[in-house]
Structure 1
Amino acid sequence: MKEYPAHSAILYEAHQKIYYQACSDKYINNWIRFESDEPYVTKTSLPFGIPFSLNDPDYCHKLFELLVIEHNFNRDYKNSSIDGLLRTLFNKLLESYCQNGFTPQYYSLLRLRSAIQNNPSDPWTVSKMADILRISPGYMQIIYKKTFGISCMEDVIDGRIRLAKEYLIHGSQSISEIAFQCGYHNVEHFCRQFKQITGYTPKKFHSHAANRTAAPGDQVNLSRN
């Protein structure tokens, strides 16, 4: 028996028998057995039987879930969907293998960044982020920028402006309402940051979006009751 670290991926050769058991109270194991003669599988540079760290384990977890779902249902594009998902999974595995060497702290930062990008309007501060990671604010800012190439507050601002664009393009709220919904308590501060990043004031951006006669591409909206 071998003990492997969390957030690891292992690719085994065909027909190899594997026995799993938990090393702790909580055990999460995503696995699939598959057959493919595609070059991205048969000629992969990924090693066999050697664990390597994943750069985004949550993303890979979702790919595993989708692969299982597609396998279990006989849908019209089942084979095509499985192939697309498997290709994406191998791309993510290769990205991770080429980087490798992720620390437990990296995964904490990754969860923090995911929370910021999913909820940019929350009252984020450097102190709040540091408290989540249980480290000092100064150190948090250093390792965040070193890991992602952007400061933590720049990430917050980018997320808020991205959200504001959606409201301005598709919503009917006033500028002050949009500012509040995006986490700003000062409309002038919101307008200043918006123009600094986009080159437009929120009002001009809204007018420009409304006057466009052709969309740059198709859009799919998913609604959930």
Structure 2
Amino acid sequence: MAFIHYVECNTTHSSNFEIDVPMGFHWLLVITKTPAQFWVNGHLKEYPAHCAILYRPTQKVYYRACADHYVNDWIRFETNEPYITESPLPFGVPFLLDDPDYCHKLFELLVTEHNFNRGYKESSIDCLFRTLFNKLLESYIQDDIKPQYYNLLRLRNAIQNNPGEYWSISKMADYLRISPGYLQNIYKKAFGISCMDDVISSRIRLAREYMIHSHQSIAEIATRCGYQNVEHFCRQFKQLTGIPPKKFRKHAKG
């Protein structure tokens, strides 16, 4: 289990903010939302926004603002959990997060659980910690996270949360204010799937749910999933699932 001493989200400081602890007392995890300077391997170095840094107990902690303000999420805690104490994550070295919004939501939940004495507080905090450290590991092993990646990630979340919208390559490119050709190139490199294939996959995944758990007609489901032509929907559904929608529904209901 992990015991939280203090946790905060969106903590904002002025340009002269500085943390200087020659020898820390507890575990400390910091996630930056603005650029900052960190003392790493005997040198002061600037790191971009959306970095995470984990300090173990007794480790020197030094970081400071390097712009007109500094914003971060941070948590000071104690733990004997091997997934933290024996983690392959580097100690005292910042690394970029591949999904900072997700990690921020986990921090918000940790703040809530820490501040309210609810019945399942300890187990909830334990689950949130494990999820957070899973996300940190996913980020650490991912190579070459560029600033444009975060915009692509927001686009992908928008697609998967609203697959029934009218998505075209031009609309997606406008969303990011880049050219359609450039979008297709960097999207495939980032996620291993083209942007339009991602749209189609999200639509068919949603359609499967409607066909299993609703009584709407196939035409109604096609419309809800962003298709203006039911025949086109049926073709794409069969391409991705291997069977036509009617047959899929019959098997699912059976």
The ranges of structure 1 where at least 4 consecutive aligned residues each deviate by more than 4 angstroms after the TM superposition are: 15-22
The structure richer in strand per residue is 2
Q: Which has the higher contact order (CA 8 A, sep 6+)?
A: 2
1:190 paired residue number: 233
1:214 paired residue number: none
Query: Residue type of the partner of 1:11?
Result: L
Q: CA deviation at 1:186?
A: 0.3
Aligned residues of 1:121 and 1:181 also touching (Cα < 8 A): yes
Query: What stretches of structure 2 of length at least 5 have no aligned partner?
Result: 1-17, 19-36, 38-45
Aligned residues of 1:120 and 1:182 also touching (Cα < 8 A): yes
Task: Assess, with a 3 A threshold, how the Cα gap between structure 1 residues 19 and 104 changes in structure 2: closer, same or farther.
Answer: closer
Distance in 2 of aligned mates of 1:207 and 1:24: 62
The structure richer in helix per residue is 1
Q: Choose which of 157, 162, 165 in structure 1 pairs with 2:205.
A: 162
SS of alignment partner, residue 163 of structure 1? helix
Q: Choose which of 151, 155, 161 in structure 2 pairs with 1:108.
A: 151
Counterparts of 1:83-94 in structure 2 under 5 Å?
Answer: 83-94=126-137
Matched, 1:44 2:87: yes
Matched, 1:56 2:99: yes
Aligned residues of 1:52 and 1:100 also touching (Cα < 8 A): no
| TM-score, length-scaled by structure 2 | 0.76
Q: Aligned pairs, how many?
A: 210
Q: Choose which of 152, 161, 165 in structure 2 pairs with 1:122.
A: 165
SS of alignment partner, residue 74 of structure 2? coil
Distance in 2 of aligned mates of 1:198 and 1:98: 32
2:67 paired residue number: 23
Query: Percent of aligned positions with the same letter in both sequences?
Result: 69
SS of alignment partner, residue 47 of structure 2? coil
Aligned residues of 1:11 and 1:49 also touching (Cα < 8 A): yes
1:209 paired residue number: 252
Task: Assess, with a 3 A threshold, how the Cα gap between structure 1 residues 199 and 22 changes in structure 2: closer, same or farther.
Answer: same
Matched, 1:144 2:174: no
CA RMSD of aligned residues (A): 2.0
Q: Choose which of 70, 78, 96 in structure 1 pairs with 2:121.
A: 78
| TM-score, length-scaled by structure 1 | 0.86
Q: CA deviation at 1:155?
A: 0.3
Query: Residue type of the partner of 1:44?
Result: S
Distance in 2 of aligned mates of 1:98 and 1:174: 45
2:177 paired residue number: 134
